Structure 1
Amino acid sequence: MLDQTLYKWYSLEWFTPTAFKSFDWEFFFVLYAIPLVLLLFVMKWLIGSKIKQKLPVALPKKELSKHWTSYLRFIPNALMALALILLLTALARPQRTNEQVEQWSEGIDIALVIDISESMQIEDFKPNRLEAAKRTARTFIEGRQQDRIGLVIFSGDAYSLSPLTTDYELLYKFIEEEIDFNKIENRGTAIGSAIAVGTNRMRESEAASKVMILLSDGDNTAGNIDPITAAELAAAYDIKIYTIGIGKEGKVPFGKDFFGRPNYVENTLDETTLREIAKIGSGQFYRVSDNQALANVFGLIDEYEKAEIKETRYKNTTDFYAIYLSWGIVFFILYLLSKSTFISNILED
């Protein structure tokens, strides 16, 4: 930023490279005419040297010498050239623009409801279902802005791990350190209770949009509230529910035997209930069978549930053409004065 003293029009700092680089030019193309001004005066001198009037002098050539004062005759032309260059600079409209941008969004409240039951240790996802879900949840959080996000975990019971917060670093810490298979002692899959806990977290929310993302790999086998009833309760609070069924059907690897060979167990998933929950919650149901599919689903939800970002721009533009116009007028006046002095070439003028 240039020093405030530059705002005095007569400061020579206006002609430094720093000053010119700080400008935006409204009519930058006008500056291309400046070389033409210089070319015009060069042509005037070349043509003038051929056709100008000459005064015959009857003196030997060896007695003729050029006095330094003869170069003063170039001053009027130099003053006129400077005046024209400065006027063109003023016409190009040098400006400085100070633009301020204010952005805000109403934000979305999102509850991530993650199944941590024993079956989430199955290794059809790498390294297992739960670790894949944790990594994807972290990536999802990283892509959000201004949204409050909460964490709910469940197996035989449901537990609110984190309230709705914009402290994403805290959420990352919870995901890495707090979500594991031993966090809840009771075994089973309490889908209805998990939805109820998530709803309880968001029921007093005043956000423009409230979203619950439920991720589970099994049937509802525990808890004290039916999943459909819990979904209807969430819908009453205008909470949209996305459900994700994780895992392949049929035999899936689960641990290894004494010889290091993978054990296989039969996997089942109550897809019908998860579909009905999503329907009641005006959301969508997804079935995923590998890490990439899970990441793709979270990517889709991320696109669907974007908060509208509003933007207000304040643009303050200051013109500085008057600086160069003033200098141009000064040099033009000096040109006119020089025409009335001894340095003017009376043979040409």
Structure 2
Amino acid sequence: MGEQQGNTANWFSLDWFRPVTFSNFQWENPILFYAFLLIPLFILIWWVWSLSKKKNLAIALVRKDIKWSASSLLRHIPSLIFLVFVSLIIVALARPQKTNEKVEQWTEGIDIMLVIDISESMQIEDFKPNRLEAAKDVARKFIAGRFQDRIGLVVFSGEAYSRSPLTSDYDLLGEYIDGISFDLIEKGGTAIGSSLAVATNRMRESDSKSKVMILLSDGDNTAGNIDPITAAELASAYDIKIYTIAIGKEGKVPFGKDFFGRTRYVENTLDETTLRKIADIGHGQFYRVSDNKALESVFQLIDKYEKAEIKENRFRDTTDFYPIYLKWAIVFFLFWMMLKSTFVSNVLQD
């Protein structure tokens, strides 16, 4: 309303007649612009009618005394003013307007807890540059694709701790992910059960209709004070769906350099059976990935599965500008009426 009042106050500005102004309008009745095609026909009919009504006065003059005067053109000014008036009426009837559409989106959201292994074996380089950095990279991309979901972060090796509570502040969460390193937890080992318990504790009071846990690990449960199966059953009791991702290749995998700078290989072991059982108890899915591309594909698949329905409201704010051109039309009509009462309309043609 304030914008419309401001536009009305500046109706006398010549900017309303700039081509760029007209190109920015939406028109409620654009079909009325065809009326401009009738103007030449109207002029022709008017001219023929004027000729039929014109009275000739016989005057004897010497040809050399007959001269054309530019002042005779002044008689056309009222007609031109009237044509401008008609044109402005057509523009006003076409109803120029601008519409701003505001879209509000919302969703009930999903609570998601990322549970990431940061044990020593995550330094293995079968992923580039290593398993942990590959996991951090896909976690960032996963978060970037979410909308109004709350996401938390748990890291673990020999112990587990909550790196971030459930939050929708994705920038802050990204900083927490960037800060993940192998020295966050001093105790060695892989406490899968403890990590599930910590993540469940963070989510147990959530009232979200959908709660999801994504566990990413490359080893066996070798530490912690709770069995992984027991922890998975506890999570399931709180209606938490669990996806498990086993990261790493089978057999010998590259792990650092030896004394002579040559690539060192170690034997990779992974308790795939336990991770499968955890996913089964949590009514989720188990995935085994052996390179960066496969890991990214799994996160994209989970992202697709765990999408809340996005709802939206659309608000249309329409501002009409026809009063501006109607006011200009009135001005030109009054101007035309005034000229019709002056000598300008009575200038004789030679």
Q: Which TM-score applies when normalising by structure 1?
A: 0.85
- How far, CA to CA, are the matches of 1:72 and 1:301 in structure 2? 79
Q: Residue deviations 1:280-326, cap 9 Å, x none? A: 22221111101111112112222222233322122122333244345
Judging changes above 3 Å, is the alpha-carbon distance between structure 1 residues 201 and 346 closer, same or farther for their aligned structure 2 residues? same
Count residues in correspondence: 346
Unmatched 5+ residue regions in structure 1?
Answer: none
Shift of 1:221: 2.2
Shift of 1:240: 1.4
Q: Does 1:233 align with 2:234?
A: yes
Equivalent residue, structure 1, for 2:104? 102
Aligned equivalent of 2:172, options 165, 170, 173? 170
Equivalent residue, structure 2, for 1:87? 89
- How far, CA to CA, are the matches of 2:294 and 2:21 in structure 1? 56
Judging changes above 3 Å, is the alpha-carbon distance between structure 1 residues 256 and 337 closer, same or farther for their aligned structure 2 residues? closer
3-state SS of 2:270 partner: coil
Equivalent residue, structure 2, for 1:264? 265
3-state SS of 2:76 partner: helix
Unmatched 5+ residue regions in structure 2?
Answer: none
Q: Which TM-score applies when normalising by structure 2?
A: 0.85
Q: Residue deviations 1:194-231, cap 9 Å, x none? A: 11110000111122321111000112222222222211
Q: Residue deviations 1:93-146, cap 9 Å, x none? A: 111324333222222221110111121121111121112112221222222232
What are the within-5 Å matches in structure 2 for residues 2-13 of structure 1? 4=5, 6-7=7-8, 11-13=12-14
Equivalent residue, structure 1, for 2:26? 24
Equivalent residue, structure 1, for 2:278? 277
Is contact 1:2–1:19 with CA below 8 Å preserved after alignment?
no
- How far, CA to CA, are the matches of 1:144 and 1:5 in structure 2? 41
Equivalent residue, structure 2, for 1:194? 195
Q: Does 1:304 align with 2:301?
A: no
- How far, CA to CA, are the matches of 1:161 and 1:6 in structure 2? 54
- How far, CA to CA, are the matches of 2:152 and 2:11 in structure 1? 62
Is contact 1:13–1:19 with CA below 8 Å preserved after alignment?
no
- How far, CA to CA, are the matches of 1:181 and 1:329 in structure 2? 79
- How far, CA to CA, are the matches of 2:78 and 2:282 in structure 1? 85
Is contact 1:251–1:265 with CA below 8 Å preserved after alignment?
yes
Shift of 1:333: 6.5
Judging changes above 3 Å, is the alpha-carbon distance between structure 1 residues 6 and 343 closer, same or farther for their aligned structure 2 residues? same
- Which moved further from structure 2: 77-86 or 246-255? 77-86
- Which moved further from structure 2: 205-214 or 53-62? 53-62
3-state SS of 1:211 partner: strand
Equivalent residue, structure 2, for 1:119? 121
Q: Does 1:206 align with 2:207?
A: yes
3-state SS of 2:173 partner: helix
Shift of 1:152: 0.7
Judging changes above 3 Å, is the alpha-carbon distance between structure 1 residues 8 and 174 closer, same or farther for their aligned structure 2 residues? closer
- How far, CA to CA, are the matches of 1:90 and 1:337 in structure 2? 23
Aligned equivalent of 1:135, options 117, 123, 137? 137
- The sequence identity of aligned pairs, in percent, is 64
- How far, CA to CA, are the matches of 2:182 and 2:10 in structure 1? 74
- How far, CA to CA, are the matches of 2:26 and 2:306 in structure 1? 39
| RMSD of aligned alpha carbons | 3.3
What are the within-5 Å matches in structure 2 for residues 52-71 of structure 1? 55-71=57-73
Is contact 2:154–2:160 with CA below 8 Å preserved after alignment?
yes
Residue identity opposite 2:223 in structure 1: A
Is contact 1:103–1:310 with CA below 8 Å preserved after alignment?
yes
- Which moved further from structure 2: 46-55 or 86-95? 46-55
Residue identity opposite 1:208 in structure 2: K
Q: Residue deviations 1:36-82, cap 9 Å, x none? A: 35644675698789989665542122111234552232134213311
Residue identity opposite 1:189 in structure 2: T
- How far, CA to CA, are the matches of 1:10 and 1:160 in structure 2? 62
Residue identity opposite 1:275 in structure 2: R
- How far, CA to CA, are the matches of 2:181 and 2:347 in structure 1? 100
Q: Residue deviations 1:235-267, cap 9 Å, x none? A: 121211111110011111122222222222221
